[in-house]
Structure 1
Amino acid sequence: MHAPPEHAELLVAVADELTRVREGIDHVEALVSRLVRRAPAEDRAEALTEAQALDALTQRLEALSGVLRMLGDGATPAESVSRISLADMAVRLRPAAGVKVSAPPDSGDLTLF
């Protein structure tokens, strides 16, 4: 099942917006990183762990942007979710794209800073 051609432009535009949101989070992530370095030594490890949630968000936004961009380029829903490397997101989206998941995928490639 392909999206109607008239949806392609909107899908790509939404993908671009998600990319801009991700870029905004990148700036916030840099700020948080500077603040974590200034945190008291006894609080730094916990603050760094919490700050890594921003990195996870940027990776999720990037994956969603990729799905929308592929849909906009004419890929099927199954094709568009097949490239998601974040395992937890892939598990949630594949059934909606008509892809049966028989075994849990590997852990994906979430990279923390």
Structure 2
Amino acid sequence: MHAPPEHAHLLVAVADELMRVREGIDHVEALVSRLVRRAPAEDRAEALTEAQALDALTQRLEALSGVLRMLGDGATPAESVSRISLADMAVRLRPAAGVKTTEAADSGDLMLF
């Protein structure tokens, strides 16, 4: 199953938009990092842990953008989902892509800063 050309163009455009959102989050992440450094020492570790949620969001956006781009380039849904490096997201998306799985979602390959 391949997307019609008009869908393909939209999928790639949405993938590009997701990457722009990711760039915006990168700027927010830099701001939060500066603020965390100014937090009182006793609050810094907790603030840093909470700030890492932004990094997780950027990784998820990047993965979703990759799926959309692959679909737009003619890959099948199963092929597109198979490239996701975040294991928990891949497990959630596989059924929608028609891929049978019995794996339980794990923490995946999330990389924190």
Q: Show CA shifts across 1:22-51 (max 9, x none).
A: 000000000000000000000000000000
Shift of 1:3: 1.4
Structure 1: 5+ residue stretches without partners: none
> What is the CA–CA distance in structure 2 between the aligned matches of 1:82 and 1:106, rounded to whole Å?
16
* Cα distance in 2 between the residues matched to 1:107 and 1:100: 20
Q: Which residue of 2 aligns with 1:73?
A: 73
The alpha carbon displacement at 1:102 in A equals: 2.3
Q: Is the 8 A contact 2:19 2:65 kept in 1?
A: yes
Which stretch shifts more, 2-11 or 61-70?
2-11
After superposition, the Cα gap between the structure-2 partners of 1:7 and 1:101, relative to the gap in structure 1 and judged at 3 Å, is same
Over residues 41-68 of structure 1, what are the superposed CA-to-partner deviations in whole Å (9 max), with x where a residue is unaligned?
A: 0000000000000000000000000000
> Could you say if the C-alpha distance between residues 46 and 105 of structure 1 is closer, same or farther in structure 2, counting changes exceeding 3 Å?
closer
Corresponding residue for residue 9 of structure 1 = 9
- What runs of 5+ residues in structure 2 fail to find an aligned partner? none
For these two proteins, the number of residue pairs brought into alignment is 113
Q: Identity percentage over the alignment?
A: 93
Moved over 4 A (4+): none
Residue 50 of structure 1 is matched in structure 2 by 50
* TM-score normalised by the chain length of structure 1: 0.95
